[in-house]
Amino acid sequence: MDERLKRNICDLDNNAILREVRNLSACQKEHIGDALEYSTQFWAKHLAEVPSECHDVEEIHKAIDKFFTTHLLFWIEVLAIMGSLGISVYALNDIQKWYNSVSCEQSIF
């Protein structure tokens, strides 16, 4: 996602209404593809599986911070194009839960 997410990933008109875009599925397949579709839908679920005592927690924190400052809107755009915007609510909840578990674990030490 770090390398592939970008603004207006499908090169749509600025005022495009997704339900009116011709061949949106073909555009989605060409510009987004299966790998990016999968990662945009499931990265937070994979994050939730990372144990809070993992030795890479600081690196993961930095990667998430970078994601939220540089890619959040592009991620939402891709989910909207895929018709899966609702996933973002659950993903953000999973991310918050992981952050809370890591924060609790680190405060113990």
Higher pLDDT, 75 or 102: 75
Q: What is the pTM of this model?
A: 0.85
pLDDT, tens digit (0-9, with 9 covering 90-100), for 77-105? 999 999 999 999 999 999 999 988 887 65
If DSSP states are collapsed to H, E and C, what string results for 41-97?
HHHHHHHHCCCCCCCCHHHHHHHHHHHHHHCHHHHHHHHHHHCCCCHHHHHHHHHHH
Residue 108: predicted pLDDT? 44
Is residue 40 within 8 A of residue 79, CB to CB? The reply is: yes
pLDDT, tens digit (0-9, with 9 covering 90-100), for 7-49? 999 999 888 888 888 889 999 999 999 999 999 999 999 999 9
Cα 53 off chain centre by: 23
Short-list 66, 1, 12, CA closest to 37:
1
